Structure 1
Amino acid sequence: MKYGKYLFHIKLTRDAVLPAYKGSTFRGLLGHALKRTVCALKNQTCTTCILRQNCTYSLIFETAHALPAPENGKISAPPHPMILEPPLTEKRDFAAGETLICGMVLFGDLNRHLPYFVYAFDQMGRIGLGKRLNGNRAGFTLESVTFGDKTVYSKKDGRVTIPDVLPTLNLTPDQNKIPDHVTLKLQTPFRISTKTGQKPDLPFDLLMRSLIRRCTALFNTYGDGEPALNYPELVKKACRVRLTDNRLAWFDWQRYSSRQETKMYMGGLLGQVAYQGDLGPFLPFLRMAETVHAGKNTAFGLGQISLKAQA
């Protein structure tokens, strides 16, 4: 499955007050700017628009209506083809002139839509983000967009270069020495249950069930189809892997949904957790999770994971 990870480098033109977790702020503003940029039939909803299967906004924010679910019926709805990775700092007060970096991961053919995202970020800067100060939100300028060590957009020349070659994700077993101990750091809230205040615990089999579902859905929708996996056997082996160190805590977070006109609670687990056992069959999933995230609401940047393997 092909993917592209892009970093959007922005410079604030006004002082800004942003929330501790910035995923909802950036995603909400992106949706507003992108719809204003690409929507051709202003009087139509995405569910009835005849352009929805080719519309950048619809593919990202109305994925279930833009893309049909795979015919095998193993997933109820296609996963979102984009992940936003907002700045991880919990800092809230920023001064004009400071820079921030917002990451974006795009899957499959959506990488061809990169110019629309670049233009949308430019418009986001004109609209402004964060809390109003003296009646105005914080504006910013999009200075550049990078893809690995390459600059695919800069404010100086105003041109977007779509990468010719994209990296790929796969579930190929690791041929190197297999570690029997891994440590995962949950960098952004990891959501499986929607219940707030749940016990801060993450058994390995629960983690792997979530990861297997997510990876399978992504390959089904944006890759080469259903991966050849023995699901019952994987779950059995996952149940034998022990949780050896649990430093997780519950993080309460809520966002306001303008579409549903209500506050939505989206808390999740944060911190560090370690496992020990026969990890060979699961390393491809754990490594893939570093790119595709895990759990629910990954489009907001939730479920961002870093992996450390030890022999």
Structure 2
Amino acid sequence: MRVMEATAGQQLDTAVSAGLPMGLYRLQTVAEQPIHLPGFAGATLRGALGHALRELSCMTGMASCEGCPLLRSCRYPALFEPKALGTASPGHPTPPPPYILRSPVTRPHTLRPGAQFQFEMAVFGLSPADVELLVRAWQRALYKGLGTRRGRARLVSVQHYQGQRWNEVWQEAHSEWSPHLARLLQPAGVPDDLSTLTLRFMSPVRLQHRGRLCHPEQVTPPILLAALVRRLKLVAGAAMRPAPPTSDGLALSTEMRLYRWERQSSRQGRAIRLDGLVGDIHLTGDALKAWWPWLWLGQFTHLGKNVSHGLGQYQLVHGGEAGSPV
């Protein structure tokens, strides 16, 4: 067994993307009160971040971004709610939020006071000032509390992933950032004996075909890989290169099940269904070598619908035993 790790090598812009500054950060927190987290906690974390970011960024106090005279200069819509900017047009969809949350919590879990909890945030094309603003928002979000009972926590450190190491770039005790290059390094070359590859989904993936959610038996190589390419193009835009390879010659089998899941939207005041598939997708065929850079990068961008809630997170496994992609 070999887990497909993110090892030092050529930069992304020499393989799949030409100009996609992408940083991966690990946020280490400590609970100060009991925190009750639901399964697949990405949506809970995202909601807390959004409230805190709006409080830090909004200068008018308006109830909605719609009609705000400072909309274009405010960082909140650009970082959290790009749809509010109204930049979509035929053939040019609204860009997604420039971040992804990666949470290790897959089942309901309670953190006791003093317990440590970490999660990861991948950011795409953000300036150092934007990353620092997001971290300040995380400090505020944790202080205001997470989960249904608003258990308080604090942010103690931030690490940045580069090569095969996590390097600390921020500490609670100092509050100063260490200079670093927000660029993810992609493995050089292709792993040996890449005739089979497994995508192990750590959170539900919402794949759609003709506007309907796919069930396990409906997933095919074209549907899966089209969702991957679509996601990467949304993140990178015109920077994507080269053209994606063909899926001809690839065989696909699944060990997946439909996971029925919903999240509570405090803004909409209702539960929102986000059913998706969990489990493994196995790919076989010589074309895997051409798809390797795309599939590797997709671990950090996720794929499918509702990825900003932490859905569609997977890791690549070569052999059959799980492990971390980084």
TM class, shorter-length = 0.7 to 0.9
Matching of residue 166 in structure 1 with residue 166 in structure 2: no
Shift of 1:201: 4.9
Cα separation, 2, equivalents of 1:211 and 1:200? 18
Matches for 1:234-249 after TM superposition, within 5 Å: 234=245, 237-244=246-253, 246-249=254-257
1:145 and 2:122 matched:
no
Counterpart AA for 1:219:
A
Q: Does 1:103 align with 2:112?
A: no
Residue 273 of structure 1: SS of its match in structure 2? strand
Matches within 5 A, 1:285-304: 285-304=294-313
* AA matched with 1:288: L
Whether 1:253 aligns to 2:261 is yes
The count of aligned residue pairs is: 293
1:185 corresponds in structure 2 to: 200
8 Å Cα contact 1:5-1:105 kept in structure 2: yes
Q: Deviations over 1:112-154 (max 9, x none)?
A: 312212211221122111132xxxx211111111112222221
Number of the residue aligned with 1:123: 140
1:51 and 1:146 map into 2 onto residues whose CA distance is 33
Equivalent position SS for 2:101: strand
CA deviation string 1:233-272 (max 9, x = no partner)? x4xx31531114x211111110122233221100111111
Q: Which amino acid aligns with 1:289?
A: G
Q: Which ranges of structure 2 fall in alignment gaps of 5 or more residues?
A: 1-19, 320-326
CA-to-aligned-CA distance 1:23-66 (integer Å, 9 cap, x gap): 11111111111111111121263233343344332112221233
Report percent identity of matched pairs. Answer: 26
With the length of structure 1 as denominator, give the TM-score of the two structures: 0.84
Q: What does 1:12-51 correspond to in 2, within 5 Å?
A: 12-43=31-62, 45-51=64-70
Label 1:196 to 1:216 Cα distance change in 2 as closer, same or farther (>3 A): closer
Letter in structure 2 aligned against 1:146:
Q
- Select the structure with the greater relative contact order (CA < 8 A; seq sep ≥ 6): 2
Determine which of 239, 254, 257 is the counterpart of 1:225: 239
Could you tell me how far apart the structure 1 residues matched to 2:111 and 2:240 are?
45
> 2:272 is matched by which residue type in structure 1?
M
On the 8 A contact 1:178/1:279 being kept in 2, the answer is no
| Distance in 1, Cα, partners of 2:273 & 2:248 | 30
Q: Give the Cα–Cα distance (whole angstroms) in 2 for the partners of residues 92 and 77 of structure 1.
A: 34
SS in 2 for 1:49: coil
C-alpha contact 1:2 1:169 (8 A) present in aligned 2: no
Match of 2:5 in 1: none
Partner Cα distance (1:300, 1:263) in 2: 14
CA–CA distance in structure 1, aligned partners of residues 127 and 31 of structure 2: 28
Give the CA deviation at 1:102: 1.8
RMSD: 2.6
Which residue identity does 1:102 align to in structure 2? F
> In structure 2, what is the Cα distance between the partners aligned to 1:260 and 1:30?
16
- The answer to whether the 8 A contact 1:7-1:103 is kept is yes
- Indicate conservation of the 8 Å contact 1:179/1:279, yes or no: yes
CA distance in 2, matches of 1:121, 1:89: 21
Q: Distance in 2 between matches of 1:79 and 1:272?
A: 26
Is the 1:4–1:166 Cα contact (8 Å) retained in structure 2?
yes
1:68 maps to a residue whose letter is T
1:175 CA displacement: 5.7
Gaps in structure 1 of 5+ consecutive residues: none
In 1, the alpha carbon distance for the partners of 2:171 and 2:275 equals 36
Change (3 A) 1:302 1:111: farther
Report what 1:9 is aligned to. Answer: 28
| Compared CA separation, residues 104 and 268, structure 1 to 2 (3 A) | same
Of the three residues 224, 230, 244, the one matched with 1:207 is 224
